[in-house]
Amino acid sequence: MGRIAGSDGARTAAAIRRAGLRLIHRRGYEAMGLRELAAEVGIRPASLYNHIGSKQELLFDLIHEHMAALLASATAALEEAPPRAPARLRAFVLHHVAYHLGRKAEVFVANFELRALEPPGYERIVAQRRAYEAMLVALLEQGVEEGAFRIPDSRVAAYAILAMLTGTCTWYRPDGRLSRAQVAAIHAAMVLRSCGYAEGGEE
């Protein structure tokens, strides 16, 4: 990639994050070098430090931004959903699948490079992940309280649901026979059935 002519600091910083995401997704965090990153953006290696403190800081920022956006957009999706648990769970699933299928590189880096973070950053990301998991656990517990769901352990169910939903990133292809919306709708129906919700019941 050629040098970004006339770019200001914000544009260069954004280009560094985009390039860092591509390279980490393609090569892995450990294999990506800062010289390679600088060449991808079109700046001198020393100039990177005008925009990032370190390679470790870049990784943290990428994962943190992904998780912050996921939490914010999931919260917005639930705020727009009807109040009963089945409708809210459907909204959560539809949002989760659509969000993740549109950000496969971010999801890969957040899941597989989390282990590369040093303890302070790792703990902050884990706290974000737990907050997201807690949203789903709360939905499942709401459904049990309403009598709409039959779940022996809401936390175990939440982990299983998230693993299934996020797994779509490994096999979904945009040029396949199903759209993102269709894949999300299929998963929403499966999740609701797995929770003991009878399709056609009141949402």
Which pair of structure tokens corresponds to residue 196?
A: 């003991």
Rounded CA-CA distance 53/16 in Å is 12
CA 120 to chain centre: 20
Placement of tokens 């769970």 in the chain: 89
Q: Are 91 and 78 in contact (CB under 8 A)?
A: yes
pLDDT tens digit sequence for 23-38? 999 999 999 999 999 9
Q: Are 15 and 41 in contact (CB under 8 A)?
A: yes
In single-letter form, the type of residue at position 82 comes to P
Give the chain's radius of gyration (CA, Å): 20
Provide the residue-wise pLDDT of the chain in tens; the chain has 203 residues: 444 444 468 889 999 999 999 999 999 999 999 999 999 999 998 999 899 999 999 999 999 999 999 999 999 999 999 999 999 999 999 999 999 999 999 999 999 999 999 999 999 999 999 999 999 999 999 999 999 999 999 999 999 999 999 999 999 999 999 999 999 999 999 999 999 997 655 56
Domain regions of the chain by residue span: 9-50, 55-194
Rounded CA-CA distance 110/100 in Å is 11
Q: Are 64 and 128 in contact (CB under 8 A)?
A: yes
Rounded CA-CA distance 189/4 in Å is 47
**What is 9-50's CATH number, 1.10.10.60, 1.10.10.10, 3.40.50.2000, 3.40.50.300?**
1.10.10.60
To the question of pTM greater than 0.85 for the whole model, the response is: yes
Angle CA 55–128–33, to nearest 5: 15
Domain 55-194 class in CATH: mainly alpha
> Given this model, what pLDDT does residue 6 score?
42
